[in-house]
Each structure stands twice: as C-alpha cells, then as structure tokens.
C-alpha cells in the first residue's frame, strides 16, 4: 500500500461513531476530575509547603513590579487567588493546578486544530502525562515554569488560529499572550523567538506576520510590557542575580554546555519516547523520512530545529554550560505534537489507541497516588520533604507565647513562607528579601524563628539581618528551643529556635 493510500485509509478509520465532540467532552471532564483530585489530595495531606510555593506565600504580601530576578505575573496571580480564597494551601494548589490543566487543554485544542481529529488530539494531550517535568515535577514544586508553559500553550494555539482564520480577535489574543508570557519567565523569549522565526520561514507564516493587524498585537504586548521593561532597565543588576545558574564559562563551555543541553533534552523526552517506541514504532520511521501522516499548517519540525539552534547559540555565544530539564518546559512541551504528526498513521489501530489510553489512565492514577503517598509513607522509609516539616506545630508553639505576633522574622524564605501561611495577618520576612518600605514597630509581639537542627546558634545571616533592618540584637530576645515530630513520623524530631522580643 502506498503512503498516500495509507493516509486515505487512515482518514476513513478516523471517522468513527465516537464523535469528535464527544471525545472533547470526555477529555475535558476527565481533566476536571483529575486536577480536582490533585487539589483535594494536596489540601488534605499537608499544610506545609515546599520551596517554590513557600516563596509565593511569602512574596505575595507585597504588590511589586518585580520580585528579585523573577518576573511578577505568577505572584500577581497568587495575590488574586489569596484575596478570593484566603491565604491557604487551597489557593496555592488551585492556581497551580488550573495552570497545569490549561497546558493539557490547550495542547489538546492545538492538536485538534493542527490534525483536524479529536482522537489524535486526545493522544497528544495524554502524552503529557509521560513527561515527568509536567506530570510530576510541576505537581511536586514548580511555579513560574508551570505558568510560562501554560501561557506558551495558549500562545501556540493562538498562532494556529492566526494561520487558519486570521481574525482580528486572534491578533489581539496573540499580543496579550506574548505580553503575559514575557511577564511569566525569561525562557519564554526562546519559545516566542522560535515561533516567530518558524513563521518567517514559510509563505503563510510570513503573511500572518506582515498583516497590518500584527501592529495591534505589538501594541497590546508593549502596553503590558512597558512598565516592566522600565523596571528592568533601572534594576538590571537585580534582574540578573540568578544568572549564575547558567554556569557561564570562559573556556571549555562548548563541550560541557552541549553535553548538559543534550542530557536535559533527552531526560525531558525519554519516558515518552519509550512509550512511543512500544505503541507507535512506525512513527520513528516516518519521522526519519520526514513523511507526516497529513499536511499541517505549522511546520513544527522546523520549530524544533530553530529551538535547537537557539539553545546551541546560548552555549556558543554566551558560554552557557548548565541546563536543567525543567528549563526546557516552554520549548519542548510541544514534542508530542511533533511526533504524532508522523505517528498518526499508527493510530488507525483500535488496539493501539486503547492501549495508549489505558497506559495514560494508569500513569494518571499512579501520579495521583504516589504524590501524597511519598509524604504520608515516605518517613517510614527515611524520606522526608518540606511537606513533612511540622510548621503547624511550630505555629502552635509560637501562639502559646505570642497569640497575635505583628512581625515574624525567619531564617530563610522557605521557613518564612510556611510561617506566613500559618499567620496570615502577620508580616513575615527573611534575609535575602528586598528591604521593607513600611517596617512595623518592633515590640513585644515580634517573633524570630530559625531551624536549630544543626546548631542552636542563630545563623550569622539572620543575626546581621535583624541588626541592620530592625535594630534587634540577639541579647534582646528570649529564646526557647522546641523539638517537634515531623508530620507522619514518630521517629524524627525537628529542632527549632523561637525568639521573643521584649
């Protein structure tokens, strides 16, 4: 059978009694149930927070144009969620899981628009369950990476709509999403740069970009971005404080950087590629011969080539030698679209589709079970995470001595964010934060908290911060030490120090 004949036969098989509309309804219903279950288990299992969520609980005390080296959009959204639902784990989990659901939803919508088939769109969206950085790491403890990937998924869908419909509202949405993406995380620049360069590479894409309505997109994006760009210009040093994460080298960066980039990309797609190898093996052959199962409006293979070139340029021209797999999220989350553009012909088998859906259900249920189980059962195997630290008991100990503290100063942001969740009406701060404009008066309600597991002595950084920002010396504090059991553990105790002013 010729390849064109296979495509025609494939199109016939795709016309099944299960309508596209029904597939879409079942998918979105399943998405709602799955992420509602994730929120419920997160709220029920622990009131403690890991690093990124604790950071949001802390930073959301202030409405600012930027937060250290990170753009402000996630924190702004978290402030809104806290205003509506209160300062609690539910508001934190609701925001994150809504953004994660948006990634799945817009990948599904993009695939349906690109392939004109809801069954293939369903498999594309379900493929995300086999990308650990989306299905596992994002649930465990990511914030800005989740947001930038969600905005990138929406932005890609708007690009596909521009290619197919060219409506004025789509140009407006594109501009809005570009502006929001740049306020999400800096690696959005790589995503949107690759998308724009891909559009420039073929006639239909160039016609979208040359349309005068693209000025509307540009205007909307600039209106959203200009205030932040002004801040970036005047606070460039603050915005680049985390550049050390890239481990920029003067020598030997080509080999090290290329290897790190390769490892990050392979670890991102490896589990999904293994699934594809088992269930959709012919897709690899079709991809090697560049034989997509149908013509699509956006050359996604070219997009990935451009992404590769941009990432290698970071190594070649800037000496970047460190890449982490989670940094690849807004660039590589489209990989299922790329592969299924070639493997769609394999999906003509009802058995293959059934096995794919069954594997996806098993993966979803496993993630739903393992994420809370590692908190509840982890201590039995010697595994402890931030979710196990007894912040609620720390708060009860503080309330025993100071029921309503106005100011709480913790040794590090993770501790401060967790304490803020327990004392939503108190001002909570920590070293490494920007100076507080309106400092409260230090009085007998002021509390100082640090982790004393390794040493009873107050950390030097906290001591210096107290003196510089609040003119508090350690001699002025009445300090108590408490040993509190970790959540879900009777064998391990957290040792904390709590200092009371006055």
Contact indicator for 114, 160 with CB cutoff of 8 Å:
yes
Output the pLDDT for position 433. 82
Beta sheet of 407-410, edge-to-edge order: 427-429, 407-410, 447-451, 493-501, 477-485
**End-to-end Cα separation, the chain, in angstroms:** 87
Output the pLDDT for position 432. 83
* Average pLDDT value for residue range 386-394: 95
Contact indicator for 406, 446 with CB cutoff of 8 Å:
yes
Let me know whether 137 and 213 are in one domain. Answer: yes
Residue 398 in domain: yes
Q: Is the pLDDT of residue 40 over 50?
A: yes
Chain centre distance of CA 197: 25
pLDDT band of residue 14 (cuts 50, 70, 90) is very low
Let me know whether 366 and 392 are in one domain. Answer: no
Degrees (nearest 5) of the Cα angle 475, 478, 482? 130
Residue 459 in domain: yes
Q: Is the pLDDT of residue 469 over 80?
A: yes
Q: Is the pLDDT of residue 498 over 70?
A: yes
Hey, how many other C-beta atoms are within 10 angstroms of the C-beta on 2? Answer: 7
Output the pLDDT for position 396. 96
Let me know whether 401 and 338 are in one domain. Answer: no
Q: Residue 461 is inside which H or E element, if any? A: helix 460-470
DSSP 377-427: TGGGGT---GGGS-HHHHHHHHHHH-SS-SEEEESSHHHHHHHHHH-TTSE
Q: Which residue among 373, 398, 414 closes a domain?
A: 373
pLDDT band of residue 67 (cuts 50, 70, 90) is confident
Residue 360 in domain: yes
Output the pLDDT for position 1. 42
Output the pLDDT for position 35. 98
Output the pLDDT for position 235. 75
Residue 43 in domain: yes
Q: Is the pLDDT of residue 131 over 90?
A: yes
Residue 178 in domain: yes
Side-chain-side CA neighbours of 124 within 13 Å: the count stands at 33
| Rounded-to-integer distance, Cα 25 and Cα 22, Å | 5
Per cent of the chain over pLDDT 90 is: 78
* Average pLDDT value for residue range 163-186: 96
Output the pLDDT for position 12. 43
| Rounded-to-integer distance, Cα 335 and Cα 214, Å | 27
| Rounded-to-integer distance, Cα 150 and Cα 132, Å | 16
Q: Is the dihedral of CA 435, 417, 424, 235 positive or negative?
A: positive
Output the pLDDT for position 9. 44
Of 160, 373, 135, 383, whose CA–CA distance to 275 is shortest?
135
* Average pLDDT value for residue range 216-222: 97
C-alpha distances out from residue 37 to 247, 270, 319, 356, 369, Å: 39, 27, 44, 22, 10
The pair of structure tokens assigned to 115 is 């392939």
Let me know whether 318 and 213 are in one domain. Answer: yes
- Tell me the per-residue pLDDT of 17-38, one tens digit each, with 9 for 90 and over: 458 889 999 999 999 999 999 9
| Coil, helix or strand at residue 148 | helix
Output the pLDDT for position 444. 85
Output the pLDDT for position 232. 82
Which residue range forms the structural domain that includes residue 453? 388-501
- Tell me the per-residue pLDDT of 138-149, one tens digit each, with 9 for 90 and over: 998 899 999 999
Let me know whether 461 and 315 are in one domain. Answer: no
Output the pLDDT for position 442. 81
C-alpha distances out from residue 353 to 21, 122, 356, Å: 18, 10, 5
| Coil, helix or strand at residue 256 | helix
Let me know whether 363 and 392 are in one domain. Answer: no
- Tell me the per-residue pLDDT of 406-443, one tens digit each, with 9 for 90 and over: 999 999 999 999 999 999 999 999 998 876 666 777 88
Q: Residue 226 is inside which H or E element, if any? A: helix 214-234
Residue 379 in domain: no
Residue 63 in domain: no
Q: Is the pLDDT of residue 13 over 60?
A: no
* Average pLDDT value for residue range 357-375: 96
Q: Which residue among 308, 338, 373 closes a domain?
A: 373
C-alpha distances out from residue 277 to 108, 127, 271, Å: 22, 13, 10
| Rounded-to-integer distance, Cα 328 and Cα 109, Å | 21
Of 309, 385, 332, 386, whose CA–CA distance to 133 is shortest?
332
The pair of structure tokens assigned to 400 is 């025993």
Output the pLDDT for position 437. 63
Tally of structural domains, the chain: 2
pLDDT band of residue 11 (cuts 50, 70, 90) is very low
- pTM higher than 0.85: yes
Let me know whether 274 and 413 are in one domain. Answer: no
Q: Which residue among 319, 346, 373 closes a domain?
A: 373
Let me know whether 332 and 422 are in one domain. Answer: no
Let me know whether 459 and 363 are in one domain. Answer: no
Residue 72 in domain: no
Of 64, 433, 436, 52, whose CA–CA distance to 228 is shortest?
64
| Average predicted confidence (pLDDT) for the chain | 91
Let me know whether 320 and 438 are in one domain. Answer: no
Burial 22-34 (b: 16+ CB within 10 A, else e): ebbeebeebbeeb
- Tell me the per-residue pLDDT of 224-240, one tens digit each, with 9 for 90 and over: 999 888 888 877 776 67
Let me know whether 224 and 253 are in one domain. Answer: yes
Dmax over CA atoms of the chain, in Å, equals 87
- Tell me the per-residue pLDDT of 298-357, one tens digit each, with 9 for 90 and over: 999 999 999 999 999 999 998 998 999 999 999 999 999 999 999 987 787 889 999 999
Let me know whether 393 and 363 are in one domain. Answer: no
Hey, how many other C-beta atoms are within 10 angstroms of the C-beta on 340? Answer: 25
């Amino acid at each position: 059978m010729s390849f064109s004949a296979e495509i025609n036969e494939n199109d016939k098989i795709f016309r099944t009694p299960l309508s596209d509309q029904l597939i879409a309804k079942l998918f979105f219903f399943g998405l709602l149930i799955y992420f509602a279950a994730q929120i419920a288990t997160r709220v029920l299992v622990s009131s403690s927070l890991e690093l990124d969520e604790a950071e949001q609980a802390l930073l959301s005390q202030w409405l600012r144009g930027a937060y250290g080296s990170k753009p402000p959009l996630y924190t702004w959204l978290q402030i809104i969620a806290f205003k509506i639902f209160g300062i609690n784990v539910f508001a934190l989990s609701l925001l994150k899981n809504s953004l994660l659901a948006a990634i799945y939803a817009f990948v599904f919508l993009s695939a349906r628009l690109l392939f004109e088939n809801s069954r293939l769109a369903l498999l594309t969206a379900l493929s995300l369950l086999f990308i650990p950085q989306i299905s596992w790491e994002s649930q465990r403890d990511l914030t800005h990476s989740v947001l930038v990937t969600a905005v990138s998924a929406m932005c890609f869908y708007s690009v596909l709509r521009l290619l197919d419909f060219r409506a004025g509202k789509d140009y407006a949405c594109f501009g809005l999403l570009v502006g929001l993406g740049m306020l999400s995380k800096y690696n959005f620049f790589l995503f949107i740069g690759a998308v724009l360069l891909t559009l420039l590479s073929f006639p239909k894409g160039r016609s979208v970009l040359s349309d005068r309505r693209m000025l509307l997109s540009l205007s909307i994006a600039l209106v959203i971005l200009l205030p932040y760009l002004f801040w970036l210009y005047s606070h460039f040093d603050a915005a680049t404080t985390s550049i050390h994460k890239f481990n920029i080298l003067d020598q030997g960066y080509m080999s090290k950087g290329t290897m790190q980039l390769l490892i990050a990309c392979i670890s991102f797609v490896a589990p999904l590629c293994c699934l594809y190898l088992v269930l959709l093996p012919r897709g690899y052959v079709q991809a090697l011969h560049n034989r997509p199962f149908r013509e699509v409006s956006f050359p996604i293979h070219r997009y990935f080539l451009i992404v590769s070139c941009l990432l290698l340029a970071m190594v070649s021209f800037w000496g970047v030698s460190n890449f982490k797999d989670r940094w690849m999220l807004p660039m590589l989350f489209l990989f299922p679209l790329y592969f299924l553009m070639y493997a769609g012909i394999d999906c003509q088998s009802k058995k293959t589709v059934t096995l794919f859906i069954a594997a996806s259900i098993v993966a979803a249920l496993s993630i739903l079970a393992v994420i809370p189980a590692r908190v509840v059962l982890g201590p039995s195997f010697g595994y402890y995470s931030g979710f196990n630290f007894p912040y609620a008991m720390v708060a009860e100990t503080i309330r025993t001595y100071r029921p309503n503290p106005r100011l709480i100063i913790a040794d590090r942001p993770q501790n401060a964010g967790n304490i803020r969740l327990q004392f939503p009406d108190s001002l909570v701060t920590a070293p490494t934060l920007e100076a507080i404009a309106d400092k409260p008066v230090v009085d007998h309600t002021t509390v100082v908290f640090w982790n004393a597991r390794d040493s009873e002595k107050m950390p030097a950084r906290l001591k210096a911060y107290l003196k510089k920002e609040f003119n508090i010396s350690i001699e002025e504090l009445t300090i108590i030490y408490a040993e509190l059991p970790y959540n879900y553990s009777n064998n391990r105790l957290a040792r904390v120090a709590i200092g009371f002013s006055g």
